[in-house]
Structure 1
């Protein structure tokens, strides 16, 4: 009886009040402050959390991840409504808002923690990611080959509280002002129809 109750509770928790299921996506596209800001602006996205995935050791700190010794990537974990925004839509934003052709680097940020990576949660996400990458390569959207890692999701460790909603809380911080603000302006123009009202 307890097992059945647990299953029912799990199903209820995975469905919102409108009966819509939620899905999860996990992307690493350089500094998570920047990546979080883009996805947080998308219609159909309920929650975006900054954190770490793809490394060794539990509950790594920001300092440990920045050392490069744990192998974790800075990532964002996205909870979204597939009825409003598809996984392919999320991939479109992902590939349009970072450089997937630079290995372990995004601009001045260098290290394995800044690698381009999609941690897929199921086979459908894996296939869609591989298809999108193949399409981008075929159409030669980027001058250089895409080096985005496509790996099975294992564990997500939420980053320290001060990293959450960083851009929203610190828009005038030097990095945000110099790096994120210009990217955000381009992003809003490019994806104006897909943003939250």
Structure 2
């Protein structure tokens, strides 16, 4: 089976990870950091905003089941791509909206999806589009965070509504529909 990788940043990685773990065709989701200048950053360093890294997820998926375009359409549905360096109360460059593409095909698809989404949002899309370069896996305690801590405050009030929205809007694409 041929797989592809998508690397996306759209606010806190816990939110994105929780949604993509429920998507049919996704084989693995990992939280990490990308787009900065500091090698091997820690969560604390990324949070202080000086590393240049964004919180991202790396999604390994089967393109025979879910396309890269669908991955991006979901991405633009579950976060606000119009707010520079923030998602809700999460503020800073580490929370920016960014797509790190892994091929020229992904780059072209991302440009097309961004152009389409510009007609959906009332404000200009500020999502960065950059080549995937160095990626660093986040600490183990960040992996599968929502699944392990669904009642933790941030998870209950921020992550859970995004997961619920995904389940409602993309019901046929959820693992629950299998």
- Classify the TM-score, shorter chain: over 0.9
User: Counterpart of 1:131?
Assistant: 112
Matches within 5 A, 1:66-105: 66-105=47-86
Q: Distance in 1 between matches of 2:58 and 2:157?
A: 25
* In 2: Cα distance, 1:136 partner to 1:41 partner: 23
Structure 1, unpaired ranges of 5+: 1-19
**CA offsets 1:97-148 (integer angstroms, 9 cap, x no match):** 00000000000000000000000000000000001111122xx210100000
Task: Indicate the structure whose relative CO is greater, using CA pairs within 8 Å and at least 6 residues apart.
Answer: 2
Q: Distance in 1 between matches of 2:152 and 2:78?
A: 20
Asked whether 1:106 is paired with 2:87, we answer yes
* Aligned-pair Cα RMSD in Å: 0.6
CA distances 1:134-186 after superposition (whole Å, capped 9, x unpaired)? 1122xx21010000000000011000000000000000000001111122112
| Corresponding residue pairs, total | 176
**Equivalence for 1:161:** 140
| Map of 2:8 onto structure 1 | 27
Which consecutive residues of structure 2, in runs of 5 or more, have no partner in the other structure? none
Q: Which of 158, 172, 184 is matched with 2:151 structurally?
A: 172
Q: Hey, what does 1:15 align to over in structure 2? A: none
2:38/2:52 contact within 8 Å kept: no
Contact 2:78–2:165 (Cα < 8 Å) also in 1: no
**In the TM superposition, what is the alpha-carbon distance from 1:96 to its structure 2 partner?**
0.3
* Rg larger for: 1
How far the C-alpha of 1:55 sits from its partner, in A, is 0.2
Counterpart-to-counterpart distance in 2, 1:77 and 1:105: 20
Secondary structure of 1:70's aligned partner: coil
Q: Of residues 112, 115, 120 in structure 1, which corresponds to 2:101?
A: 120
Runs of 4+ in 1 over 3 A off after TM superposition: none
| TM-score normalised according to structure 1 size | 0.88
CA distance, structure 2, for counterparts of residue 61 and residue 128 of structure 1: 32
- In structure 1, which of residues 23, 33, 47 is the aligned counterpart of residue 28 of structure 2? 47
Q: Distance in 2 between matches of 1:94 and 1:183?
A: 11
